[in-house]
Structure 1
Amino acid sequence: MEFLGCPAIFHESALIEFFANGSVRDGMIVSTIGGIAVEIRESVFAETFGLPTEGLTDLSEVPRNFLSDAQSLFSASENEVSTSCLKKEIKMQYRLLSDILAKSLFVKAGSFDAVTRDRFLLMTVITFDVKVNWGNLLFGVLKEMVTPDSRQAKGYAIQICVLLKNIPGLELGESKAFPAPRILNEKTVHRIISVNENVGIEEVGEAPTAKKTPVKKTMSKKRQAASEAEVAPVIKKKRSTKGKSAVTRRISLDKQVEDTTADDVDMIILQVISESTDLSSNKEDQGDKLVDEPDIGDDFGAWLESSFPGS
């Protein structure tokens, strides 16, 4: 696979060093890779890739008549477009040309809906075959790439590696195949066209609103049990005393907890505990008065019958 006549391979480690150490000095690009000095001049750059070195070096010098004709020719409607416009305002083939210039020559990432004035001028000189000093123009882009703190994206990976191979004694390291989707071929051109066809198209209608999933309210186990129409009997518990077997009794709470809340159930439990404590303390104060009343520690069942008749 080739890209503009160059093998579609690059050397990642060498490129990282090239950009990290690169700068512009006396009109040429200088850097170091593996301790070896690298110098790239404009003349060498243009000669290596066979770029024209005659013609316009300033795009503002594009003839006015060409510019006026381009404003009508590029327009997708009957009205002339401005030199700074949106891609949807120009014909499909010029949208494609704009993207090629942005992504390949000027190495801009992503897709832009705006056509800048400089890009419009370049589209004009290409369309009307105006002579341009492409060696000077593209070398200027490369100088911006290696300028420290420049906002220009890094690119020209294949071309830079071709230049570096001509430097004696320079080891470039392992090579990698350039990503196929980044190579301009029939497939990528069709993809760019399909993307540009949708530029400026507004969606009709609104997307259906997603139905909200109803949130099921849950109750705590305690409150859920209290709200049931029928309350299950309390689980049997064993109570052991000295010298006596544990007495087990089933307690039915149908009457007491009917139409009650969990707080009411809590109050009943607290009442039982409180009364059992009072019985123990009152026994010492009242003496013979409690002789006939059963002791809770002796017979829990008998105490329960006397304390809660009918339970």
Structure 2
Amino acid sequence: MKRVRKAVIPAAGLGTRFLPATKAQPKEMLPLIDRPIIQYIVEEIVSSGIKDILIITSHGKRAIEDHFDRCLELEYYLEKRAKWDWLEEIRRIATMANIYYVRQQEPLGLGHAVLCAQNFVGEDPFAVVLGDDVVVSDPPCLAQMLELYEEVQAPVVAVERVALSEVSKYGIIDGEEIRSRVFAVRDLVEKPQPDRAPSRWGVAGRYVLTPRIFGILRETPPGAGGEIQLTDALRVLAKEDKLFAYAFTGRRYDAGDKLGYLKATVELALEREDLGPAFREYLRTVVEKL
């Protein structure tokens, strides 16, 4: 039995929902308090026991590479001023994982981005974690999925129950709950209208896949938006083989959406020991003024 030892983070999108802030800055580098969004993703992967990570980037994403690289000038500056805590954190970021990069040269969709990882993945199972979906959970969301994968030895997607009014924003599964939180998936529908949604279980930005997905993706024609959709390839997989969905425990934030980003910033700040008490008092004064 092969264990999952590699992860892929698709981070090649243009970030149009955050323009003009993302005109010259990757959306994955937008800060949630004092860490960029993508650092939360990498830390979840590492906490789940995976050290080899491929980030799919595109033109204008160099800041991601710089963030996970060493910066000797900054380290020297912090060392000279005895800023030991900051120095330790800066060095930790650069050494916590083995991070590799490949560019998706055209914006051809999530399915195409995953296909760009084939040489990195080889014949091994691997995880895919979207670069703007932040999940706060213990154990980490990906670790929960890996535990199920090791049991069923078949691809697993993370799902969460979404409001009926929100189903058109997600890939929605059609499946049977075979035990608590575990579904055998029969089919998936990409962004259905509410009256056509087969369920309210939406795919939530995390996947554990096998190399078979690459052959399917190569045969997948462009779908919604004229892009190669990973959901379309997963539909084939569900019908020809086995595909499971797991309703993870934890809180998910769509940090690629303005409202989701604001919710993540506020709730993560409230949980911080150094910020929470003062920030909570500030929010009380704001509410009183409404």
Pairwise TM-score range, normalised by the shorter structure:
under 0.3
Q: TM-score under structure 2 normalisation?
A: 0.19
- Higher strand content, 1 or 2: 2
